[in-house]
Amino acid sequence: MPKFQAYPADLHIHSKYSGATSSRMVIDTIAQQAKLKGLAFVGTGDVFHPKWFESVKMELEEVAEGTFEHPRYHTRFILTVEVEDNRRVHHLIFLPSLTIVKSVREELAKHSSDIDADGRARVDLAGPEIVDIAVVHDCLIGPSHAFTPWTSMYKEFDSMRACYGDRARDVKFLELGLSADTSMADRIAELQDVTFLSCSDAHSPWPDKLGREFNRFEMAEPTYSEIIKAIKREDGRRISLNVGFDPRLGKYHITACSRCFKQFTFEQAKSLRWRCDKCGGWVKKGVRDRVNELADCPEPKHPPHRPSYLRIAPLAEIIALATGREDPHEPEVQLAWEKMVARFGNEIEVLVDAPLEALHEAGGPHIMAAVKAFREGTLKVVPGGGGRYGHLEIPAEVAQVPPPKPQRKITEFG
**Per-residue pLDDT band at 412 (split at 50, 70, 90):** very low
Q: Exposed (0-12), middle (13-18) or buried (19+): which is 114, by Cβ within 10 Å?
A: middle
Task: Please tell me the predicted confidence (pLDDT) of residue 404.
Answer: 43
**Whether pLDDT at 262 is above 90:** yes
pLDDT band at 207 (very low <50, low <70, confident <90, very high): confident
Percent of the chain's residues with pLDDT above 90: 88
Domain boundaries, the chain: 5-245, 249-286+313-393
pLDDT band (50, 70, 90) for residue 204 = very high
Question: How far is CA 45 from each of CA 79, 301, 314, 380, rounded to the nearest angstrom?
Answer: 7, 32, 21, 34
- The confidence score (pLDDT) of residue 400 equals 62
pLDDT band at 378 (very low <50, low <70, confident <90, very high): confident
Could you read off the pLDDT of 343-372 as tens digits, one per residue?
999 999 999 999 999 999 999 999 999 999
CATH number of 5-245: 3.20.20.140
User: Is residue 297's pLDDT more than 80?
Assistant: yes
To the nearest whole number, what is the mean pLDDT of the chain?
Answer: 94
pLDDT at 401: 52
Asked if 251 contacts 385 with a C-beta cutoff of 8 angstroms, the reply is yes
Q: Is the pLDDT of residue 413 over 70?
A: no
Percent of the chain past pLDDT 70, that is, above it, reads 95
pLDDT tens digits, one per residue of 37-95: 999 999 999 999 999 999 999 999 999 999 999 999 999 999 999 999 999 999 999 99
| pLDDT tens track for 158-194 | 999 999 999 999 999 999 999 999 999 999 999 999 9
Q: Which of 102-116, 179-193, 259-273, 369-383 has the lowest mean pLDDT?
A: 369-383
pLDDT digits (tens, 9 = 90+) for 34-44: 999 999 999 99
Q: What is the pLDDT of residue 406?
A: 42
The pLDDT of residue 408: 37
pLDDT band at 409 (very low <50, low <70, confident <90, very high): very low
